[in-house]
Amino acid sequence: MKRTRLLPYLLLLPSILYLIVFFAYPMVESLQLALMRQGQFLSLRAEPRDDAPAVGQVAMQTELTVIERERGEELLPNGRTRPTYWFQVEAPDLAGETVRGWVGQGNVFIESRTESTTATVTSGEETREWTLDHIRRMFTDFRFLPALGTTALLIVIIVPLQFVLALTMALVLQSQIRGSHLFLYVYAIPLGISDLVSGILWYSIFTQRGFLNSFLTAAGFLEQPYVFIQAGNTGWMVTAIVLSEVWRATSIVMVIVVAGLQSIPRDYIEAGQVFGANLGQRLRHIILPLLKPSLQVALILRTILAIQVFAVVVAITGGDVMTVLANETYRWYDPARFNNPNMAAAYSLFIMVLSLGISLFYLRAVRSQEEAAKTI
């Protein structure tokens, strides 16, 4: 009789719990916030009792006109009774039409249950319904297109620049020249720095009294400091953000490319050298085609990080002069600003869809010969 091995399943359990707690549950909650509308309304009853049919629905804080009252008694657990009131009211419903019905005293605020002629709706029933209102509002938000444009511009500039630098750094390390190990330590320094610290560091370089202005004025190139970071200097702000991101995250791409280079048999490269291929030809016809699996991973990782860039932009520009998608997500969620989790979830959903779309494009466009042959 074949024994069932439980150890592999037990090892999978932490991964399953991790996916449920940190991925599935937040994803479901975010989708509900982005695609559902929540609200409260009070149902007006045809008769002064809770189980009577509803004749209309009014929104919270609606002012009601009291037409008639009906007094009753409620039996308390200690055997005593207390008076209860139902009010026949008239008010505009959710569609704006006037309706008349009964409401209990527990759902309205009224100054005097026996004399007041107006009341205000204070509680009711919760409702949820699927809606695309938050998505439509996001697309019509006046900051959406600037945020999307800045994010796309950063992707177009940062990703190719980082790949060229990372490939160059990886080839230097792979060449085994004297001092290549020192280059590895120097390249790895930014890996220990967070994106916020990187943004603050490069802001201190480009600010009016920063290192760059101090050097240029001391060297005589400028008579007075130049304001690089200001509302009118979009080009310089983009330059500072790009330099910060490239300096901080190129090493991540380099590590992936180095791992891919080490998996390429040296016999292939040496064969190219024997047949007279120069470095550019070996790079184009041997190294890059064999690096495609590593390039897929690096492209997907770096593009997603570029889409989610946030702290660097806030540290350098403040997040108001220039904005990106991740910054708009935070602005809508921040209780001190808009305090609208539904709009924040809509932006997050858009970022996720954008990341998935670009990842699928990379998986399709950057394929090895074996992967391409399987799809034919």
Lowest-confidence range among 64-73, 273-282, 312-321? 273-282
CATH superfamily placement of domain 136-375: MetI-like (1.10.3720.10)
User: Cβ–Cβ contacts within 10 Å for residue 187, how many?
Assistant: 20
Arithmetic mean of pLDDT, 57-83: 86
| Cβ–Cβ < 8 Å for 58, 121 | yes
Chain centre to alpha carbon of residue 21: 18
Would the pLDDT of 228 be above 90?
Answer: no
CB burial string 190-227: b at 16+ within 10 A, e below: beeeebebbbebbbebbbeebebbeeeeeeeeeeeebe
Q: How confident is the model at residue 374 (pLDDT cuts 50, 70, 90)?
A: low
pTM, entire model = 0.79
Lowest-confidence range among 44-58, 125-139, 339-353, 360-374? 360-374
> Could you read off the pLDDT of 74-90 as tens digits, one per residue?
777 887 888 889 999 99
> Could you read off the pLDDT of 238-276 as tens digits, one per residue?
999 999 999 998 988 888 888 888 888 777 777 877 777
Would the pLDDT of 311 be above 70?
Answer: yes
| Cβ–Cβ < 8 Å for 151, 325 | yes
Q: How confident is the model at residue 208 (pLDDT cuts 50, 70, 90)?
A: confident
Q: Which amino acid is at 374?
A: K
Q: How far apart are CA 351 and CA 306, in angstroms?
A: 11
Backbone Cα Rg of the chain: 32
Q: How confident is the model at residue 189 (pLDDT cuts 50, 70, 90)?
A: confident
Question: Domain segments of the chain: what residues?
Answer: 42-127, 136-375
* Average of per-residue pLDDT values in the chain: 86
